Amino acid sequence: MANTQDVVVITGASAGHGRAVARGFARQGAKIGLLARGREGLEASKREVESLGGQALVVPTDVSDADQVEAAAQAVEAELGPITVWVNNAMVSVFSPVKTLRPEEIARVTEVTYLGYVYGTMAALRRMLPRDRGVIIQVGSALAYRGIPLQAAYCGAKHAIEGFTESLRTELLHDKSRVRVTMVQMPAMNTTQFSWSKNKMDHNPQPVPPIYEPEVAAHAVIWAARHDRREIDVGGSTVAAILANKIAPGLLDHYLARNGYRSQEAPGPVDRTRPDNLWRPVPGDHGVHGPFSDRSIRRSPEVWTTLHRGTIAVLAGLGLALAGLSAGRRRSRRNTSQTNRPVIAPAIRSASDEHSARLRELPTA
């Protein structure tokens, strides 16, 4: 559970997964700095946070601008207090084959989705390191380990975040800092990403199934704020993708070449008129969920198992201990039986022999 004194910064907090994370922290009474470009979505998120018991500050911010991120951090601390948790979550993407991407599109995705995390992390470290406490949570993806077709710019940014975070983690360990950094690797989620990311495909985009509701992943982020875990993989599909890429990356290349396009294509005609948020926010309040709720997973046993693996290990150990104790008792009973048998059997034979001898001594008719 988050501490009610936590001051949490969430980037990309106006919609989708970031907004789901804000709701979760609000239920625990946290003070939350809400960062994103779209003011309407931020104001709606603020109302939700306050209705759930939290306190919120709206700070319109383009995370691709390091000065804006630093100014946002200053505003949060001036209004809410020292930042204890920083969640890097903001992203943009372009659905397109590499051959039709433009250099400025790749640059923009990199600036927001990768450098936005870098700037957020640096702003958090400036405050957390002198206090020797705090948690930085990087919202990652299975695509931080395994690239897929049609999302090269986004996959590249997520890979970069993974490498950056690993380097930072080793530096914190070297310095014996109590500031923690963790990465939460996400599955495909039913968020607004697929409604407003720039699309250059011949179909509307969709998440690669299985699709999870953002609340499932948000729970893992909130849990990470209170538990020292290097990484958290959300959902069985995330674990499977990472493992498959380690074991048979070449085979996975061919599998994705055959299936990676179709699995990202939503049925129906492509909408060429819808706005995208690559360069500017899409006006309005877009909420948490995308258009795939009828196909989305609302609960995940895999997530529960991942978050509670310590408890599971203890229970498994107790089970093995009880099984061993039971087996030991059964062996003990068998050994006792075998030990007593040579003592009892000769006694029976001796009594029988004595009885037979007496019968022979009796007079016969």
Number of H helices, E strands in the chain: 12, 12
For 222-236, the pLDDT digits (tens) are 999 999 999 999 999
pLDDT tens-digit readout, 311-339: 555 666 666 766 667 666 777 676 666 65
pLDDT for 348: 47
Residue 333 or residue 353, greater confidence: 333
pLDDT band at 27 (very low <50, low <70, confident <90, very high): very high
Does 326 map to a domain? no
Residue 365 lies in a domain: no
Instruction: Look at the chain and report how many structural domains it folds into.
Output: 1
244 domain-assigned: yes
Summarised one tens digit per residue, pLDDT across range 240-285 is 999 999 999 999 999 999 999 999 999 888 988 999 999 999 999 9
Q: Which of 119, 154, 255, 261 is catalytic?
A: 154
* Sign (positive or negative) of CA dihedral 159, 165, 166, 167: positive
pLDDT at 358 over 60: no
Task: Give the helix/strand (H/E) hosting 288.
Answer: none
pLDDT of residue 330: 72
Domain membership of residue 223 (yes or no) is: yes
Q: Environment class of residue 43 by beta-carbon count within 10 Å: exposed (0-12), middle (13-18) or buried (19+)?
A: middle
The predicted structure's pLDDT at residue 365? 41
Domain coverage including residue 20: 7-307
Share of the chain above pLDDT 90, in %: 79
**Structural domain includes residue 165:** yes
Residue 60 located in a structural domain: yes
Percent over 70 (pLDDT), the chain:
81
Q: Is 154 a catalytic residue?
A: yes
CB atoms within 10 A of CB 155: 22
pLDDT of residue 3: 57
Q: State the CATH number of the domain containing residue 43.
A: 3.40.50.720
Residue 2, domain member (yes or no): no
4 pLDDT band (50/70/90 cuts)? low
Residue 264 lies in a domain: yes
Looking at residue 364, its pLDDT comes to 47
Please give the Cα distance from 41 to 26 (Å, whole number).
Answer: 16
